[in-house]
Amino acid sequence: MGCRDIRETISAFVDGEASPEEAGAVREHLASCERCRVLERQMRAVGAGVRQIRGTVPDRLRETVFARLEAEGALPPPMPAHARSWRWAAAPLAAAALGLFLLTSGDAIRKASVPGPPTAVFLTTEDRETIALLDVLEDTATFDADGESEGMDLLAPGDSAEPPAPTRGARSGA
Amino acid sequence: MRTDEELMLLFREGSREAFEELFARHHRAVVRFAWRMTGDPATAEEAAQEIFLRIARAAPSYRPTAKFTTWMYTIARRSTLNYLRDTEEEGEKVPILQEGEAEDGVYPVHLPGPEDRNPERMVWEAQLADRFRAALGELPEAYRAAFVLNRGDGLSYDEVAQVLGITVQAVKTRIFRAREMLLSRLSKDVSG
């Protein structure tokens, strides 16, 4: 194969996209052709060149994009401060309520552990709410975005609910 | 960690947090792509905004039949193409194989490449980077898109073919032509 005929395959070869047969032909050609060896290096170089163009992320890109999306209703609004506060206040409250429930039910549990007539356990409305809260808390993915928990201290009503800026790195280009 | 596709489905169901995570993961890549395609920071910013707006608007019809990133780059390419059409004429701006190419296919220009172990030569000087950016901007959009997606963003030829809606063979040819034109242009800078 002549130089002109194999150049396109050399391009695919430096990109790792040549088939095994094509790669073999390229290696064989390069072994005997100094000009195409130089061309191969230049082809690799321009591939590296495009990765030097990286740009910079505009300061207010996130704010602008999210504001525009909220304005046209394409993005749910941020969680209100009081709702976020309640969710995170729910954990200790739920634990306290559960402990209280177990303490007050201790007698019934002990009685249930020995043979005797079946004992019905009635759940109060508060108990049901506690259990429901535990179910919600178990599914942390529903509201615990990465990096957000650090700022999830109890918020007083009126505190800002704006989540912190994302910190996770973007997918790196090859 | 949830996949991009899972996050997109969650966003479709109304999860703001899912979109925030997708934005956090991909906004840098989107800005880079827009920058490389438009060559202008202000246009790149506008295009990057438009790309995320389109992603959000398209969420209701999103189906995870392909990788999220392939879908994202399809939107990104269409968005940048719109901006480019507004600012420049369509068509090839650099004819294939101009006089800058030597007859033997070797171009009179030295470019530091990834195979070069010398750290000093690995550094692209500012002047060379500027010339490269200018040369990239003069490529026909179809060639530039194929080249940037593969060499800049790391998409395989197959993925580039999906994004551009062309065959893998066409991708191979476009990337080769892009390389030829870049080398030709950079050679002219050196010789002329």
Alpha helices by DSSP H, chain A = 3-14, 20-32, 34-50, 61-71, 81-112, 125-138
Cβ proximity of A43 and B113 under 8 Å: no
CA atoms within 13 Å, Cβ hemisphere of B17: 13
Which pLDDT band, with edges at 50, 70 and 90, does A22 fall under? Answer: very high
Structure confidence by residue, pLDDT tens digits, B99-152:
334 444 556 565 655 544 444 444 456 677 888 999 999 999 999 999 999 999
Specify if A9 maps to a domain.
yes
Among A54-58, A139-143, B159-163, B184-188, the range scoring the smallest mean pLDDT is A139-143
Assign domain B119-191 to a CATH class: mainly alpha
The beta-carbon neighbor of B36 closest among A53, A62, A66 is A53
CB-based contacts of B81, cutoff 8 Å, min separation 6 = B141, B145
User: CB A46 to CB B179 under 8 A?
Assistant: yes
Which pLDDT band, with edges at 50, 70 and 90, does A76 fall under? Answer: confident
Return the residue matching tokens 């995870």: B64
Compute the average pLDDT of residues A157-165: 40
Query: With DSSP H G I counted as helix, E B as strand and the rest as coil, what are the percentages for chain B, rounded to 5?
Result: 70, 0, 30
User: CB B24 to CB A171 under 8 A?
Assistant: no
Residue A146 and residue A83 in one domain: yes
Residues from chain A that touch B21, judged by Cβ atoms under 8 A, are: 145-146, 166, 168
Q: Return the pLDDT at A53.
A: 86
Residue A83 and residue A143 in one domain: yes
Number of other residues whose CB lies within 10 A of the CB of residue A138: 9
The beta-carbon neighbor of A49 closest among B104, B111, B173 is B111
CA atoms within 13 Å, Cβ hemisphere of B87: 15
B58/B52 Cα distance (integer angstroms): 10
Specify if A43 maps to a domain.
yes
Which pLDDT band, with edges at 50, 70 and 90, does B6 fall under? Answer: very high
- Which SS3 state, helix, strand or coil, does residue B182 take? helix
Residues from chain A that touch B139, judged by Cβ atoms under 8 A, are: none
Residue A50: phi and psi, rounded to 5, are -65, -25
Measured at the CA of B65, the angle between CA B61 and CA B71, to 5 degrees, comes to: 70
Among A112-116, B36-40, B173-177, the range scoring the smallest mean pLDDT is A112-116
Domain of A90, in residue numbers: 79-151
Specify if A71 maps to a domain.
no
- Which SS3 state, helix, strand or coil, does residue A16 take? coil
Name the DSSP class of A134: H
Residues from chain A that touch B151, judged by Cβ atoms under 8 A, are: 15, 46-48, 50-51, 174
CB-based contacts of A59, cutoff 8 Å, min separation 6 = none
A159/A113 Cα distance (integer angstroms): 49
User: CB A75 to CB B53 under 8 A?
Assistant: no
CB-based contacts of A109, cutoff 8 Å, min separation 6 = A102
Task: Residue window 55-94, chain A: list those with CB within 8 Å of chain B.
Answer: 55-58, 61-62, 64-66, 68-69, 74-79
Specify if A168 maps to a domain.
no
The beta-carbon neighbor of A55 closest among B19, B35, B69 is B35
Q: Return the pLDDT at A158.
A: 39
Specify if A135 maps to a domain.
yes
- Is a pLDDT exceeding 50 seen at residue B83? yes
Among A8-12, A33-37, A56-60, B83-87, the range scoring the smallest mean pLDDT is B83-87
Question: Best residue in A11, A33, A53, A87 to probe B by mutation, most B CBs within 10 Å?
Answer: A53
Compute the average pLDDT of residues A106-134: 48
Residues from chain B that touch A60, judged by Cβ atoms under 8 A, are: none
Closest C-alpha to B26, from B48, B11, B54, B6: B48
Cβ proximity of A62 and B52 under 8 Å: no
Residues listed for chain A = 174
User: CB A74 to CB B53 under 8 A?
Assistant: yes
Structure confidence by residue, pLDDT tens digits, A44-70:
999 988 988 888 899 899 999 999 999
Q: What is the ipTM of this complex?
A: 0.81
Considering the four listed CATH numbers 3.40.50.970, 4.10.110.10, 1.10.1740.10, 3.40.50.720, the one that applies to the domain covering B4-87 is 1.10.1740.10
Q: Domain residues of chain B, as ranges?
A: 4-87, 119-191
B80 touches chain A (CB under 8 A): no
Q: Return the pLDDT at A7.
A: 95
- Which SS3 state, helix, strand or coil, does residue A119 take? coil
Q: Return the pLDDT at B93.
A: 41
Q: Return the pLDDT at A94.
A: 64
Q: Return the pLDDT at B110.
A: 59
Cβ proximity of B26 and A170 under 8 Å: yes
Specify if A165 maps to a domain.
no
Angle subtended by helix axes A34-50 and B126-137, to nearest 10: 90
Residues from chain B that touch A169, judged by Cβ atoms under 8 A, are: 28
Residue A121: phi and psi, rounded to 5, are -105, 115
Q: Return the pLDDT at B20.
A: 96
Compute the average pLDDT of residues A23-27: 97
At position B158, the amino acid (one-letter code) is D
Question: For chain A, what is the domain count?
Answer: 2
Closest C-alpha to B96, from A12, A7, A26: A7
Residue A137 and residue A87 in one domain: yes
The beta-carbon neighbor of B53 closest among A17, A52, A69 is A69
The dihedral sign for the CA sequence A45, A49, A52, A54: negative
pLDDT, chain A, mean: 68
Cβ proximity of B97 and B171 under 8 Å: no
b/e burial code for range A32-42 (CB count within 10 A of at least 16 → b)? ebeebeebbbb
Q: Return the pLDDT at B64.
A: 86
Residue A88 and residue A136 in one domain: yes
Q: Looking at chain B, which residue has its C-alpha nearest residue A148? A: B17
Specify if A167 maps to a domain.
no
The beta-carbon neighbor of B113 closest among A48, A77, A145 is A48
Residue A87 and residue A144 in one domain: yes
Specify if A66 maps to a domain.
no
